Chain A
Amino acid sequence: MRLDQLAVAAYRDGRRMVAPLLGYPGVQLTGSTIRQNTFNSELHARSLQALAERFRPDLLFFMMNLSLEAGALGLPVRYPLQESASVEEHPVRRASDLEQFRQIDPLADALIQAHIDTMRRMKDLLPAGILRGGYVVGPFTLAGLLMGATSLALATVEQPELVTEVVEFARGVVEAYGRELVKAGAQVIAILEPTATFLSPAAFRKFAGRADRQVIQALQEESSRKAATAGEEVMTILHICGDAGHLVEAMAETGAQGLSLDSDVDLAAAARRVPADVVLVGNIDPVAVMGAGDQEAVAAAVEHLLEAMDPYPNFILSTGCDLPWNTPLANVETFMRAGRGWRRQAGHDK
């Protein structure tokens, strides 16, 4: 099954798939911290189980960690108690700097293994009917963590061959981890490529899109190997936070079945720019609306988005990015209720 087939089937049934990027608020339900969940797969899976049982989304991802793969390569990462992890140093200046990282097996990293184990546990703990989602960082974004975003941006113009080499190395790391997530039972994998937001469409195609496409193909290949026995193929989503409106067509060309876009992007306009078999995933503001708004504001924002997307079957209601850990749970409930309450308007069926 492809993501568009699921989204369109729901639409034909007169409902929408609803899947906010929920991971972090799970800490409220288990009385834990983001840091504890990062390091403890049993707790992480329980936090996700609690979210799944309470909100019943159609798809649930584990907690987002953009620094995971970089940390597995030995880059220093800061893990605050209740915030996203951050990479503290970006040591790659030239191609030869990559040599030290080629000696490292990222899959031997304890946190990588913890996330693979979380995925295995999700398979046991999540109620049936909720798709299990995992994240991998995009190769271009991992290149940005290796080189530093500013250096990477400058290098896209001044040292394109260096960028290509670092992205190519990063692609290998991402693929290796992604394949393990597929083996562990991931049904959906979102590739997180936020650093690519600063690229022109042409530069995106050259430096990020090509590598993203290869990762997607590798994940699909891995899952079709597994599908012979399990009967399911992995679905892929490309996620870029921030204003990636200029990249929508280029993102769709990667072969991702879904594009997850942030609240800055006009999703209905994006729907007119992508093929009907590419699902748009988004894009309620995770902080101003979900985190800081009241239930009324959440309901209004969701209803407004549902109305704007009404003509488009290829849409999954979600948030623009991951929710802050302390997002009021009542807001998530309102989001789910408003999403579940949607009914297709007569005459809107492409």
Chain B
Amino acid sequence: MSAAGQWDVLQQAIIDGKTAAVESEVRRLLEAGAAPESIINEGMIPAMIKVGELFEEGQFFVPEMLISARAMRAGLAIVKPLLRSTEKVTKAKVVLGTIQGDLHDIGKNLVGMMLEGAGYEVIDLGTDVPPDKFVQTAKEQQASLIGVSALLTTTMIRMQDVVRSVEQAGLKGKVGVLVGGAPVNERFAKEIGADGYAPNASAAVRVADSLLGKLKGA
């Protein structure tokens, strides 16, 4: 198998969402001597980029994306414990959650999986998360990004409290706030002073990458 083609089976299994096939291929690659970080960086991340592209092209929808992301995570679970602490495979830490008062999690879960698939370490606080908790966790975990989701028009307004809380903690410019969810849009994100808005889980990766670049440059 050519060097470029050695990841084909793994990537196709992730795109097809075949969890068992991903697990067996990851094990095979490890036995064949592939480095854990290469499996992630060269095998898994490009597959999830492809999944994002298929979503944006309208070939994949949320269910297909979820299934691919779940398969990727199964592979990741095998590889991650094998990484040496010195190996840098994590782009940055992201604190993620659904805003207080809101119990919806599908969008947040999908964003979490896509970010993980793009090399981020995701700290998922779940649903119904108080604004301060996002910021407190970001501080404790030295996270670069906070991702806030809302599905209700009645709860999304509370996203601005996360932005305020970041400012009050003196983290503006150091920790970026990314917002999303069905009723959220660019205009709303700007109005509340969020650093980024993503209309879907695939875009969330792009926005997170771009935001990270700006923060690092700050």
Contacts and interface: CB of A to CB of B under 8 A. Distances in A.
Task: Answer yes or no: do A and B interact.
Answer: yes
Contacts of B106: 149-150, 153, 198
Given A80-B101, A324-B157, A325-B154, A197 B182 contact: yes
A321 B185 CA distance: 13
Contact of A246 (B58, B104, B153): B58
Interface in A48-87: 78, 80, 82-84, 86-87
Contacts of A222: none
A153 B185 contact: no
Task: Tell me the interface secondary structure of chain B in the complex.
Answer: loop
Contact of A83 (B62, B155, B182): B155
Contacts of A24: 154
Contact of B185 (A88, A288, A291): A288
Interface string B151-163: 0111111000000
B188 A288 contact: yes
A322 interface: yes
B183 A156 contact: no
B187 interface: yes
A286 interface: yes
Given A87-B103, A154-B63, A198-B63, A292 B182 contact: no
Interface range, A side? 35 or more
Contact of B183 (A87, A199, A287): A287
A266 interface: no
A83 B157 CA distance: 11
Interface in A219-274: 241-243, 246, 262-264
Nearest to A78: B103
B199 A288 contact: no
Given A87-B103, A150-B109, A243-B199, A288 B63 contact: no
A138 interface: no
A323 B153 CA distance: 7
Contact of A241 (B70, B105, B182, B187): B182
Contacts of B102: 86
- Counting chain A CB atoms within 10 Å of each CB, which of B58, B103, B182, B188 scores highest? B182
Interface string B121-146: 00000000000000000000000000
Nearest to B160: A292
Interface in B37-77: 58, 61-64, 66-67, 70
Given A198-B61, A287-B188, A292-B191, A243 B182 contact: yes
B154 A324 contact: yes
Interface size class for chain B? 20 to 34
A203 interface: yes
Interface in A149-176: 149-150, 153-154, 156-158
Contacts of B152: 83-84, 86
A117 interface: no
A199 B153 CA distance: 21
Interface in B177-197: 182-183, 185, 187-188, 191
Interface in A16-54: 24
Contact of A84 (B70, B154, B199): B154
Given A87-B103, A88-B103, A288-B191, A153 B182 contact: no
Given A86-B102, A150-B109, A286 B66 contact: no
A194 interface: yes
29 contacts: A80-B101, A82-B154, A83-B152, A84-B155, A86-B103, A149-B104, A149-B106, A150-B66, A150-B105, A150-B109, A153-B63, A153-B66, A154-B63, A154-B67, A156-B63, A194-B182, A197-B182, A199-B62, A203-B61, A203-B63, A241-B153, A262-B183, A264-B199, A287-B153, A289-B187, A320-B183, A323-B153, A324-B154, A325-B154
Going nearest first, the 3 A-B pairs with the smallest beta carbon separation are: A242-B182, A198-B62, A288-B188
Interface of A: 24, 78, 80, 82-84, 86-88, 149-150, 153-154, 156-158, 194, 197-200, 203, 241-243, 246, 262-264, 285-289, 291-292, 320-325
